[in-house]
Structure 1
Amino acid sequence: MTVADFRREIQALTGELAGRPLDAALDAWLNAHHGPGSATYAALKAACEQGVAEGWLCEREGGGLRYGRVFDAAEDLAGFSVDVVDMCDIAGPHHVHPAGEIDLVMPQEGDDARFDGRPAGWLVCPPGSAHRPTVSQGRALVLYLLPGGRIEFTRRGAAPKDPA
């Protein structure tokens, strides 16, 4: 798996997401069609694990997290950016999703790791949502798709900045 191969894997998925609202219906659809047990989930999980092992994913480290933006938002990715974070029993920095966020949760050590309380699979956060991303009960890789690459880091409890 090369970075170019990984981009093609992501393109196949984001092509199916283009123009869809980031809501509970998309969350259910992703888990039904591309969730654990699917070829898409297996391919993305294997690619992320290989990328981390080879050092082209999660190349940065800080605050107990390994992370990195793999691809900036691009037309061939239906306008999504792609980030991958490696987390183990930790909460990341509070942030707002001005245009929403789609997360793929891939537990690494046992099947019990949770991301914001969710097990392996997809989590769709609607536009305007915010959280302090938290992995509990083990280690997980989390792939983030951000429309337009938009994310706003905040101080926990502080009012989010106006995205305009």
Structure 2
Amino acid sequence: MDHKQDFHRQLAGLTAEIAGRPLDAALDGWLNATHAPGSAGYEALKAGCLAGIAEGWLCEREGGGIRYGRVFKAEDALHGFSVDVVDMQDIAGPHHTHPQGEIDLILPLDDGAATFDGRPAGWCVYPPGSAHRPTVAQGRALVLYLLPEGQIQFTKA
């Protein structure tokens, strides 16, 4: 079984649903209603992430106490989104801006209490031009993030 290819197909289906939509509060609400924790889509993406880590093709790099990696570059099959996954535990990552926005899928591990930027399991959408220092608190979480055209700019803030 090729888990990476299955994972790509799942993400292509998801990005088809969100392609062309503004990255805003409405998309955040729609994702959390349509692909909420416990839903088939959420659980399939979580299983894909866990399989990728177990097989070594996901979160294959480490820096500053964070495991990370770009799984797929932005491409037409993913409707212009790149896909990255980080594995963080009680840590703040490097500050960065999102020129075209960012869509995050928060996947708490262990007891499920971990938060990402104060948000529990589920989705978090940052609009174009937003910035943050990504922070996981209260445990360990995987965060899958979709970047339009793969755009991210790390800053010194």
Same structural fold, with TM-score higher than 0.5 when normalized by the shorter chain: yes
- The letter of the residue matching 2:52 is G
TM-score between the two structures when normalised by the length of structure 1? 0.94
Number of the residue aligned with 2:24: 23
Deviation of 1:140 after TM superposition, in Å, equals 0.1
For structure 2, list consecutive stretches of 5 or more residues without a partner in the other structure: none
- The letter of the residue matching 1:16 is E
Deviation of 1:111 after TM superposition, in Å, equals 1.7
- The letter of the residue matching 1:35 is A
Q: Partners of 2:52 and 2:4 in 1: how far apart?
A: 8
Number of the residue aligned with 1:63: 64
- The letter of the residue matching 1:111 is G
Deviation of 1:54 after TM superposition, in Å, equals 1.3
- The letter of the residue matching 1:82 is V
Q: Partners of 1:36 and 1:5 in 2: how far apart?
A: 20
Deviation of 1:2 after TM superposition, in Å, equals 1.9
Q: Partners of 1:54 and 1:116 in 2: how far apart?
A: 28
Number of the residue aligned with 2:110: 109
Number of the residue aligned with 2:84: 83
The DSSP-based 3-state class of the residue aligned with 1:27 is helix
Q: Partners of 1:131 and 1:13 in 2: how far apart?
A: 24
Deviation of 1:80 after TM superposition, in Å, equals 0.1
% of aligned pairs identical? 71
For structure 1, list consecutive stretches of 5 or more residues without a partner in the other structure: 157-164
TM-score between the two structures when normalised by the length of structure 2? 0.98
Deviation of 1:55 after TM superposition, in Å, equals 0.8
* Cα distance per residue 1:108-127 (max 9 Å; x no partner): 11121000000000000000
* Cα distance per residue 1:3-39 (max 9 Å; x no partner): 1111001001000011000000000000000010110
The DSSP-based 3-state class of the residue aligned with 1:110 is coil
Is residue 2:126 matched to residue 1:125?
yes
Q: Partners of 2:89 and 2:55 in 1: how far apart?
A: 19
- The letter of the residue matching 1:52 is I
Number of the residue aligned with 1:152: 153
The DSSP-based 3-state class of the residue aligned with 1:69 is strand
The DSSP-based 3-state class of the residue aligned with 1:42 is helix
Over 6 Å off, 4+ runs: none
Number of the residue aligned with 1:53: 54
Q: Partners of 1:49 and 1:34 in 2: how far apart?
A: 18
Deviation of 1:147 after TM superposition, in Å, equals 0.2
